[in-house]
Chains A and B, each alone.
Chain A
């Protein structure tokens, strides 16, 4: 079957099998390997991408279901060559060690800040509660999100 969707603002059309999962479509068909493929069971959250602006676990969404919709992956997080404040925050506050969970974490955290620009630590932890990090103990991830939140706020004031 043929599927057409918008990925990181670019419309793509490909011939696929109905059973192809979105995570494999992004990685294997489009070569966007920034999205990681982890547990296969919608538990670990490393495959999180946005579907029409909402974080979803792409191992449990069919590529065909994304037809006609907008997908955004970690590759689409930076704009005009500038890192998103979330990416900057993960760098500044050591929000990653091995980096395996990072793309999914950043997509979820970006969506969190879009809805709630000044989340509490508890709200950050709740937002990422469907995602597993085996390096950081989550503390530095929470710190990274807070860094992004504070810097976005100050940027808005100075702008």
Chain B
């Protein structure tokens, strides 16, 4: 029987009360949202905390998707299923629906949250790749107020984030720009498994049809999800076609940092990084044009 080691359970009643608890309890406490990453790790004693602070009661405040003209704001406690089913989000950023369809399974998606996924900071985690692709910014609140960090700053290593012991991730902000299209693809060994490799792509087309900007985010091929600035630099100003996708794929394959493990060899993962980058860029451009 796998059960976590003993801990004290605390229930959050507000964001400020949760921050107060974190301030008092320090690194011996951890926030738990959906719990579908944290509880399995605690069962295996890969994570041990004296206190767990349950923030699910804050879902009414921190579970939302607000699609504005310039920005989409998503509350950190928004569950996978809510992200999957939001028509507004799918219309602004189809990459979210692509990714949510292949994250775990429908029952797990009823519990797991966007904020929990990002804070877990697993190198294979899909929504981290999505947020990297979309140039997301994370709003972190603590006793000294709020700060906003980019995805590059948010992830400081595998399973490590910029969120301090007395802080809480409360919101993810995604900038909207005209002419956008986005897509996500994942290769997995079994339905609902972690990615062997996955790729997200987003493009923004100028009025003349050239690429105003493009971003690619890869999961499972480095210590954190990997944004590749060289792809963006290479693609800007070009007319999107097969030659361009090929260039981007080639950069993805050589820029990422996969290791051979039970999911596949390094060589195979570089091949996937190449192929999935091409496919997602192709789809993102098709969507931007339609």
Contacts and interface: CB of A to CB of B under 8 A. Distances in A.
Nearest to B52: A18
A60 B5 contact: no
Interface of A: 1, 17-21, 24, 40-42, 45, 48, 54-57, 60-62, 64-65, 67, 108, 126-127, 129-131
A110 B191 CA distance: 22
Contacts of A24: 1, 3
B8 interface: yes
Contact of A108 (B7, B35, B36, B107): B107
Contact of A55 (B9, B39, B107): B107
Contacts of A42: 36, 40, 108
B7 A18 contact: yes
Interface string B10-40: 0100000000000000000000100110011
A60 to B, nearest CB: 5
* Residue among B3, B6, B54, B107 with most chain A CB within 10 A: B107
A136 B164 CA distance: 49
Contacts of A108: 106-107
A112 to B, nearest CB: 9
Contact of A18 (B8, B106, B108, B111): B8
Given A17-B6, A18-B8, A129 B111 contact: no
19 contacts: A17-B6, A18-B7, A19-B3, A19-B7, A19-B9, A24-B1, A40-B1, A55-B106, A56-B107, A56-B111, A57-B36, A60-B35, A61-B111, A62-B32, A108-B106, A108-B107, A127-B106, A129-B106, A129-B191
Nearest to B44: A41
B181 to A, nearest CB: 25
B54 to A, nearest CB: 6
B11 A67 contact: yes
A88 to B, nearest CB: 23
Contacts of B40: 41-42, 60
Nearest to B38: A60
Nearest to A108: B107
Interface in B59-112: 104-108, 110-111
Contact of A41 (B1, B2, B9): B2
